[in-house]
C-alpha cells in the first residue's frame, strides 16, 4: 500500500510517498481501506515534533479518516467487511489502509460521502466538548468565536447556533467572515493581522468589545492564541468562560488580574484526552452531532480536496492559515 510518511522532523515538504506492506488486523482491530482523510492542525505540529503526541518514525500524519472495512480481527461483533466507518486515528491516516481499534469506529450513514465523514469528528467533537462541557454554553448567551472560518471555528459557530446562543464570529478576512455568516453567525468582524504594539492591542480589544456589546461575551472560543487571546479576554462577561483551544498564532501569556476583575474562568480544551477518559460522554456527544447533522443544523464545509500525492500541500495551506472550513485528502 502507499503511505505519505514523515521520516524526519520538518514541514510538509519533508513528507514522501512510500510503499509499505499491507497491515493485518489483530484481536479487536479493523482493517480499513481509507477513502478520505481530513487535515487538522495537529497534522501541522506532529511532523515538526511540536505536538504532545510524538510517534516513532517513520509515521504517516492524518488524524481522522473515513473508509470501508476490509477485514475484521478476532473477537469482534457488529462489524463486517464492507461497512462504512469514520474514526479518529491521532496519526497514521494518510495511507491507503489503516488499522483501527473496533471501539473507535463509528458508522458512516449511507447518505453521507466519505469526504464529509472524514471532516466531522475532530472539529465538531472538539467544539461540542468545548462549548457544552467546558464553556457551559446555554441558549440566550453570547458566544465569541475567534478563527471562525477554520474547521473548529465553523463547528463552534454552528453548535453555538444549535443551542440557541448569539454568535459573534471573528475572522482575519472578509472572505472568511462571509463563510462564518453562511454558517449562521449573527455578527461578524474582521480583525487585523498581528503582531500588535500596545496601541494595536488596545484597538483590537475595543473591536471585540464593540462586537459583543456592553455586557460582554459569556463564552469565548479561542483556537488562535497569540496576541488575540488577551485582547479577546478583555471583552469577556462577568463570570464568563474563556476556552483555550489552539495556538497557531503562538502561545499566549495572560495577565491574571483580568481573570480576577471579571471573575472569569480560563478553561483548557483537550478533546483527545477527554474522549479517552470519558468515552461514554464522548459517545453521547457524537450521537448529538449526528442528530444535528440529520437536522441540517451542522454540516462539514469542505473547501478543497487533494489527492494523496498532494497531501503536503493541504498541510501547508492549514499551517499558513489559508484554509476555510476543512481540507480533505482523497485516497484511492
Residue-range domain boundaries for the chain:
2-120+300-330, 123-271
Contact 330, 35 (CB under 8 A): yes
- Going through 258-318 in order, the beta strands assigned E by DSSP cover 265-268, 302-307
Could you give phi then psi for residue 325, rounded to 5 degrees?
Answer: 65, -135
Terminal CA-CA length for the chain: 10
Three cell numbers written together for 26:
489483530
Under-50 pLDDT residues of the chain: none
The three-class DSSP label of residue 211 is: helix
Q: List C-alpha distances in Å: 302 to 35, 242, 298, 326.
A: 15, 28, 13, 5
Q: How far apart are CA 321 and CA 332, in angstroms?
A: 27
The three-class DSSP label of residue 6 is: strand
Reported pTM = 0.95
Q: What is the CATH number of domain 123-271?
A: 3.40.50.720
**Per-residue pLDDT, 194:** 83
Residue 231 CB partners (closer than 8 Å, separation 6+):
196, 201, 204, 205, 207, 208
**Per-position DSSP letters for 191-203, written without gaps between them:** PPPS---HHHHHH
Residue 48 CB partners (closer than 8 Å, separation 6+):
9, 10, 11
Q: How far apart are CA 193 and CA 228, in angstroms?
A: 10
Residue 26 CB partners (closer than 8 Å, separation 6+):
73, 74, 99
CA-derived radius of gyration, the chain: 20
Q: Which residue has the cell 449526528?
A: 290
**Per-residue pLDDT, 56:** 96
Q: How far apart are CA 7 and CA 87, in angstroms?
A: 24
Domain 2-120+300-330 CATH assignment equals 3.90.180.10: yes
Q: How far apart are CA 82 and CA 76, in angstroms?
A: 15
Q: Cα dihedral sign for 251, 136, 289, 181?
A: negative
Three cell numbers written together for 136:
457551559
Helices of type H across 183-265 = 198-212, 227-233, 257-262
Q: Which residue has the cell 491574571?
A: 256
Amino acid at each position: 500500500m502507499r503511505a505519505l510518511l514523515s521520516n524526519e522532523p520538518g514541514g510538509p515538504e519533508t513528507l514522501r510517498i512510500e510503499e509499505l506492506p499491507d497491515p493485518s488486523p489483530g484481536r479487536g482491530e479493523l482493517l480499513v481501506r481509507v477513502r478520505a482523510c481530513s487535515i487538522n492542525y495537529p497534522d501541522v505540529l506532529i511532523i515538526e515534533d511540536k505536538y504532545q503526541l510524538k510517534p516513532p518514525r517513520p509515521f504517516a500524519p492524518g488524524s481522522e479518516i473515513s473508509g470501508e472495512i476490509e477485514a475484521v480481527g478476532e473477537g469482534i461483533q457488529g462489524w463486517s467487511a464492507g461497512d462504512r466507518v469514520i474514526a479518529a486515528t491521532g496519526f497514521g491516516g494518510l495511507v491507503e489502509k489503516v488499522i483501527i481499534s473496533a471501539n473507535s469506529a463509528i458508522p458512516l450513514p449511507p447518505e453521507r460521502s466519505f469526504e464529509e465523514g472524514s471532516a466531522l469528528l475532530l472539529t465538531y467533537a472538539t467544539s461540542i466538548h468545548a462549548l457544552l462541557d467546558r464553556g457551559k454554553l446555554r441558549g440566550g448567551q453570547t458566544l465569541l468565536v475567534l478563527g471562525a472560518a477554520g474547521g473548529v471555528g465553523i463547528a463552534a459557530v454552528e453548535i453555538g447556533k444549535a443551542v440557541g446562543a448569539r454568535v459573534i464570529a471573528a475572522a482575519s478576512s472578509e472572505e472568511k467572515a462571509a463563510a462564518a455568516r453562511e454558517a449562521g453567525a449573527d455578527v461578524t468582524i474582521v480583525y487585523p493581522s498581528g503582531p500588535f504594539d500596545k496601541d494595536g492591542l488596545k484597538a483590537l480589544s475595543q473591536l471585540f468589545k464593540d462586537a459583543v456589546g456592553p455586557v460582554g461575551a459569556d463564552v469565548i472560543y479561542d483556537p488562535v492564541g497569540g496576541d488575540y487571546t488577551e485582547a479577546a479576554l478583555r471583552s469577556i462577561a462577568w463570570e464568563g468562560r474563556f476556552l483555550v483551544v489552539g495556538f497557531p498564532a503562538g502561545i499566549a501569556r495572560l495577565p491574571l488580574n483580568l481573570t480576577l476583575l471579571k471573575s472569569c474562568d480560563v478553561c483548557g480544551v483537550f478533546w483527545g484526552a477527554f474522549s479517552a477518559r470519558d468515552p461514554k460522554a464522548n459517545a453521547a456527544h457524537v450521537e448529538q452531532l449526528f442528530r444535528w447533522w440529520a437536522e441540517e443544523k451542522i454540516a462539514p464545509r469542505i473547501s478543497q480536496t487533494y489527492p494523496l500525492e498532494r497531501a503536503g500541500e493541504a498541510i501547508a495551506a492549514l499551517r499558513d492559515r489559508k484554509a476555510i472550513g476543512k481540507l480533505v485528502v482523497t485516497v484511492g
